[in-house]
Amino acid sequence: MSEQFDRNSTILTIDDEQAVRESFHLYLEDFGFTVLEAENGRIGIRLFDELRPDLVLVDLRMPEVDGLQVLDHVVSRSPDTPVLVVSGTGVIDDVIEALHLGAWDYLLKPVQDLSVLLHAVRKNLERSRLTRENRAYQERLEEKVRLRTEELWRANEELHQINRQLRQSEEKYRAIFESLTDVYYQVSLDGTIEEISPSVEANLKRSRDVMLGSCLWDYFAGEEQYERLQEELQKKGRVTDYEVVLRDGEGSVRPCAITATRELSAWGGRIYGVFRDVTERKLAEARIEHQAYHDSLTGLPNRSLLLDRLDLALNRSRRHGYEGALLLIDLDRFKTINDSLGHGVGDKLLCEVAQRLREVLREEDTVSRIGGDEFVVLLSDIGSDTQATARRAQSVAEKIRQALSQPICIRDHELYITPSIGITLFPMQKADADADSVLRHGDTAMYQAKESGRDAIRFFLPAMQSEADQRLLMEKDLRLAISRDQLRLFFQPQIDDEGRVCGAEGLLRWQHPVQGLVPPDRFIPLAEETGLILPIGEWVLRTACGLIARWSGGVLEPLLGHVSVNVSPWQFRQPDFPTQVQHIVAETGADPKRLGLELTEGVVIDNLQDTASKMASFKSMGVRISIDDFGTGYSSLSYLRRLPLDILKIDREFIEEVTSDESHAAIVGTIIAMAEHLGLEVVAEGVETEGQLQFLQQNGCRRYQGYYFSGPLPIEEFERFVIDRQGGAEDLSCA
DSSP string covering 447-461 = HHHHHTTSS-EEESS
Q: Which range has the worst mean pLDDT, 9-18, 165-174, 218-227, 412-421?
A: 165-174
Residue 212: other Cβ atoms inside 10 A: 12
172 versus 154: the higher-pLDDT residue is 154
The pLDDT tens digits of the residues spanning 484-503 come to 999 999 999 999 998 889 99
pLDDT band at residue 603, thresholds of 50, 70 and 90?
confident
pLDDT band at residue 539, thresholds of 50, 70 and 90?
very high
CATH of domain 479-727: 3.20.20.450
Q: Give yes or no for residue 135 having a pLDDT over 60.
A: yes
pLDDT recorded at residue 377: 96
In sequence order, the β-bridge partners of residue 723 are: none
Q: Give yes or no for residue 275 having a pLDDT over 50.
A: yes
Q: Where are the domains of the chain?
A: 3-131, 180-283, 298-475, 479-727
Contact (CB, 8 A) for 150 and 142: no
Q: Give yes or no for residue 148 having a pLDDT over 80.
A: yes
pLDDT recorded at residue 171: 53
pLDDT recorded at residue 734: 39
Mean of pLDDT values over 617-636: 80
Q: Give yes or no for residue 529 having a pLDDT over 80.
A: no
CATH of domain 298-475: 3.30.70.270
pLDDT band at residue 735, thresholds of 50, 70 and 90?
very low
Instruction: HSE, CB side, 13 Å, CA atoms: give it for residue 206.
Output: 24
pLDDT recorded at residue 91: 59
pLDDT recorded at residue 1: 46
Q: Give yes or no for residue 415 having a pLDDT over 50.
A: yes
Q: Give yes or no for residue 431 having a pLDDT over 90.
A: no
598 versus 321: the higher-pLDDT residue is 598
Q: Give yes or no for residue 464 having a pLDDT over 70.
A: no
Measured CA to CA, the distance from residue 116 to residue 715 in angstroms comes to: 47
Rounded to 5°, the CA angle 205-243-31 comes to 135
The pLDDT tens digits of the residues spanning 334-361 come to 988 888 888 899 999 999 999 999 999 9
Fold type of domain 180-283: Beta-Lactamase (3.30.450)
Mean of pLDDT values over 407-416: 88
Q: Give yes or no for residue 67 having a pLDDT over 60.
A: yes
Instruction: Report if pTM > 0.75.
Output: no
Mean of pLDDT values over 641-645: 84
7 versus 663: the higher-pLDDT residue is 663
pLDDT recorded at residue 463: 59
3-class DSSP state for residue 100?
A: helix
Mean of pLDDT values over 633-647: 73
pLDDT band at residue 3, thresholds of 50, 70 and 90?
low
CATH of 3-131, one of 1.10.10.10, 3.40.50.2300, 2.60.120.340, 3.30.1490.100: 3.40.50.2300
Residue of 20, 24, 76, 89 lying closest to 45 (CA atoms): 76
Mean of pLDDT values over 373-386: 87
Measured CA to CA, the distance from residue 285 to residue 616 in angstroms comes to: 46
Mean of pLDDT values over 599-606: 79
- The amino acid present at 119, given as its one-letter code, is H
pLDDT band at residue 173, thresholds of 50, 70 and 90?
low
Q: Which range has the worst mean pLDDT, 84-93, 121-130, 163-172, 308-317?
A: 163-172
Contact (CB, 8 A) for 382 and 365: no
pLDDT recorded at residue 449: 86
Measured CA to CA, the distance from residue 348 to residue 298 in angstroms comes to: 9
Question: Mean pLDDT for the chain?
Answer: 86
Mean of pLDDT values over 123-135: 89
Q: Give yes or no for residue 523 having a pLDDT over 60.
A: yes
pLDDT band at residue 245, thresholds of 50, 70 and 90?
very high
pLDDT band at residue 511, thresholds of 50, 70 and 90?
very high
Mean of pLDDT values over 187-202: 90
